[in-house]
Chains A and B, each alone.
Chain A
Amino acid sequence: MARKLPPKDVVIIGLGWTGSILGYELAKAGLDVVAIERGPWRDTASDFPPAYAQDELRYAIRLDLFLRPEQQTLTFRNKMNETALPIRSFSGFLPGNGVGGAGVHWNGQTWRFLPTDFNIRSHLEQRYGADALPADMTIQDWPLSYDEIEPYYDRFEKLCGTSGKAGNLKGVKQPGGNPFEGWRSAEYPTPPLKQGLGATLFAEAARKTGHMPFPQPASNLSEAYTNPLGVKLGQCTYCGFCERFGCGNYSKASPQTSVLPALLRFPNFSAQTESEVTKINLDSTGKRATGVSYVDSSGQEWEQPADLVLVCAFSFFNVRLLLLSGIGKPYDAQTGQGVVGRNYAYQTTSSVDLILKDKILNPFIATGAHGMIIDDYNGDNFDHTGLGFFGGGYMGFGQTNARPIETRPVPKGTPKWGAQWKKATAETYQRACSLATHGSSYSYKDCYLDLDPTYKDRLGRPLMRMTFDFHDNELKMSAFLTDRLAEIGKAMDPAEITAHPRQGPYNSTIYQTTHNTGGTVMGTDPSTSVLNRYCQSWDVHNVFVPGGASVFPQNHGYNPTDTVGALAYWTADAILQRYLRNPGPLG
């Protein structure tokens, strides 16, 4: 029997990056805000202090900070004609859980999309011909331009204190930065991180082979910094326990280190943890949300009425919630009709492993986002004529750690155990490094999310079903990028080099990234999008999905978080300046 709570102005589903940003902006404006978070409260000193945060087994292998599949999971299949089976244990991608969400255990890699990414379809058709794109590729233009989102990128980066070097300030190219990036209105809030030997060798080789390397933009801060909310972050100590781990010394931007201390000061904000939202409730017209229902950890159901519902969970959980709540027309891959679940995309990564000659790399000295990168082969930065694919990605040296359970390279052909293995492991660890490409993942008709017909969660609701595989476009792209990267790798004069271009089929058991995008696409046309350009539902005007990666029409050759954060601010502005003044469809 659900118990009804007193109404709030705003209910926020999920207290990660977007939930925290929206919570702050709306609480600051005086609204009564409650955030409902499925997982536990998390805080630096009690949950990941630098006394036990640095535990590879617990956090990187046993995945202690991540969502337990027992609490919630997905089913997966490569193709529509296969049977999807449950992901019983996460490995290929790692959804977070708890306050801070993925913002706690991300790497801090902070990238803007390119200007041409925002009108990718019309740009590619214009450059390469109206028939250039494969028929089943469903990429589409974003409903906003780079120029429009630029100030919001700047705002999110200032929130985080991102460390980097601008390559384009107001249209003027800057030495030392990314020459391909879109224009910036301001320099990065803090200077670039220091670089180790591996990144330095890569940068030298990249320059030698005619490329333009620059330091990776990092929300692991190069120096202490006070953000516009007055919250202070510390200096990153290059500990090498970044992705999958919470930061122990306040030096990785996260909701905890960047927003929550200021947000929790508002008496009109509260967080309800260990409570899972099960449904967004609608009135009898189906066009207006009345609030949400949620279940606490002892199974008690609650109803939280609210005037505004913000769907701020992790990307595919946003999709699932809309489907379970009956908001928007579900996508039917057979007919191509419908929108909720459409255009699921991922990321196309690959690596080139090197064993150098006589070097002491100290690979355990690392941050989540340090390194030297080139962007020459991203987006449409290079001519794709005759290549047989579209898209691209950044590449370079961004090795985040050398934690020995997972990372102890050996030369090709070394046995996996025994005396030879032991000798090779001892002799290679200090000399080995890994380069990576980080490529786009365009959308296709047969890559989508819907509800599984068979498997249920612990509350008896259908699991989300993911249907996804790489297409030829992405595999060809990966082969191309990997070849280019291997050329640079060769110029580092290695003793051994092994290229690992991405191969199909997509394997959900091998970790690649947790950049799952799409499913609640933002657009200008309700027949191909779930949200309008303000991330407002076309169908239910008081429901917004403020910028989780589920709003991406496709994924480009960069990590999603900077764009996610920027869109959160973009949506906050739309709500404060437009919606609240005149609640209704913003068009």
Chain B
Amino acid sequence: MRTASSSTITRRSLLASSAALLVAGAGGARARCISGGMPWDPGAADPPHLVRPGPWMFFTLDEAGLIEAAVDRLIPSDAHGPGGKQAGCAVFIDRQLAGPYGRAAGLYMKPPFMPGAATQGYQMPDAPAARYRAGLKALADYIAATFSGKSFAELAPDDQDRVLAGLESGSIALKDVKAAEFFALLLQNTQEGFFADPIYGGNREMAGWKLVGFPGARYDYRDWVERHNEVYPLPPVGIMGRSDWTVRE
């Protein structure tokens, strides 16, 4: 199962090479019998699906407004570089929630669901998408009630920070939603979006990687292992490349 859903034709050829046969069982089986050599299919590749700018795929416009404002406080824009909004963290979270991550694909979702000890892991049946829907609604309701009908995006930055801190500590109670847990999820996804490969929609212009000096999707540091205390000179690169790959006359 792949994390990124692909709308392009899968490159994985199911046709037999001389070394692999598909064994048909009842109902079109996929069990694969491999013998006689290492199979190979031309063009076989399973890269992540490139997130393109465009309309929100999961968030409503109101939810998106809240999220964009929130990620911009969690990671503010300043002298160290772009903030969460400019870096595309909201887009990242939107696409993640619209995909397998959002629907908790691949997780064990059989009942009975019982609250467990802290050492036993998350035991609730709600997938991240459902948690965001519920959490954002509860948060929007709280803010409207507390700030005379305003939305999160309309608050002053200090107020926004206070709200986030209140969620983090759990001192703000949200209706039917555990505030601290929801905040932790939001923060986790925001930071994922800031530091993940730009192919996923966040870390635009590799803002996150530039913040810390991480060279990104590089694969060969042989000449640098023993150059102790030297700054690594090459700019970061993502799965879909960097600007230097473009021919400039």
Contact = CB atoms under 8 A, between A and B. Distances in A.
Interface of A: 3, 40-41, 43, 45-47, 49-58, 61-62, 64, 68-71, 73, 76-78, 82-83, 85-89, 91-92, 193-197, 200, 235, 237-241, 248-249, 260-261, 264-265, 267, 269-275, 296-300, 302, 359-360, 362, 364-365, 402-405, 408, 416-419, 421-423, 425-426, 429-430, 454-456, 505-509
Interface string B108-125: 111010101111111100
28 contacts: A45-B40, A54-B216, A54-B219, A54-B239, A55-B48, A56-B195, A57-B192, A82-B117, A89-B108, A91-B121, A193-B225, A194-B225, A196-B225, A196-B226, A200-B228, A237-B220, A264-B36, A265-B37, A271-B35, A272-B32, A272-B34, A299-B26, A300-B27, A362-B221, A364-B215, A419-B76, A426-B80, A506-B119
A308 B45 CA distance: 37
Contacts of A3: 25
Contact of A299 (B20, B27, B109): B27
Nearest to B43: A46
A456 B26 contact: no
Interface string B65-99: 00000000111101011000000000000000000
B15 interface: no
B185 to A, nearest CB: 13
Interface string B3-36: 1100000001000000110010111111111111
B192 A298 contact: no
A249 B105 CA distance: 30
Contacts of B212: 404, 408, 425-426, 429-430
A78 B116 CA distance: 11
Interface stretch (B133-141, B146-154, B229-237): B229-237
B75 A56 contact: no
Given A267-B36, A296-B30, A416-B187, 5 more contacts: A47-B46, A55-B199, A82-B117, A264-B38, A422-B80
Contact of A418 (B74, B208, B216): B74
B35 A269 contact: yes
A76 B121 CA distance: 9
Interface of B: 1-4, 12, 19-20, 23, 25-41, 44-48, 73-76, 78, 80-81, 101, 104-110, 112, 114, 116-123, 161, 164, 168, 187, 190-192, 195-197, 199-200, 208-209, 211-222, 224-226, 228-232, 239
Given A89-B107, A404-B195, A270 B35 contact: yes
A49 B229 CA distance: 30
A422 B110 CA distance: 40
Contact of A454 (B107, B112, B232): B112
Given A297-B31, A408-B195, A417-B74, A87 B231 contact: no
Contacts of A200: 228
Contacts of B47: 51-52
Contacts of A69: 106-108
A234 to B, nearest CB: 11
Contacts of B123: 85-86, 88
Given A194-B226, A197-B229, A55 B33 contact: no
Nearest to B73: A418
B195 A238 contact: no
Nearest to A261: B38
- Please report whether the interface of chain B is mostly helix, strand, loop or mixed according to DSSP: loop
B20 to A, nearest CB: 8
A57 B20 CA distance: 31
Contacts of B239: 51-52, 54-55
Top 9 closest A-B pairs, CB basis?
Answer: A68-B106, A296-B31, A270-B35, A300-B25, A429-B212, A69-B108, A46-B44, A197-B228, A57-B196
A264 B213 contact: no
- Please report whether the interface of chain A is mostly helix, strand, loop or mixed according to DSSP: loop
A53 to B, nearest CB: 8
A323 B166 CA distance: 50
Given A88-B121, A404-B208, A405-B195, A298 B219 contact: no
B75 A422 contact: yes
Contacts of B168: 416-417
A164 to B, nearest CB: 16
A52 B50 CA distance: 12
A50 B46 CA distance: 12
A404 B110 CA distance: 33
A478 B209 CA distance: 35
B243 to A, nearest CB: 18
A505 B182 CA distance: 25
Nearest to B76: A419
B25 A296 contact: yes
Given A87-B121, A238-B222, A365-B221, A272 B33 contact: yes
Contacts of A85: 114, 116, 120-121, 123
Given A271-B33, A297-B30, A417-B75, A404 B209 contact: yes
Contacts of B209: 404
A415 to B, nearest CB: 9
Given A78-B117, A417-B74, A56 B196 contact: yes
B80 A50 contact: no
A249 B40 CA distance: 17
A273 B121 contact: no
B3 to A, nearest CB: 5
Q: Which of A77, A195, A360, A506 has the most CB of B within 10 A?
A: A360
Q: Which of B39, B221, B232 has the most CB of A within 10 A?
A: B221
A194 B3 CA distance: 35
Contacts of B101: 62
Given A55-B239, A300-B26, A359 B229 contact: yes
A88 B78 contact: no
Nearest to B28: A298
Contacts of B218: 54, 239
Contacts of B73: 417-418
Nearest to A509: B121
A477 to B, nearest CB: 20
B16 to A, nearest CB: 13
Contacts of A43: 38-40
A62 B200 CA distance: 13
B85 to A, nearest CB: 14
A507 B119 contact: yes
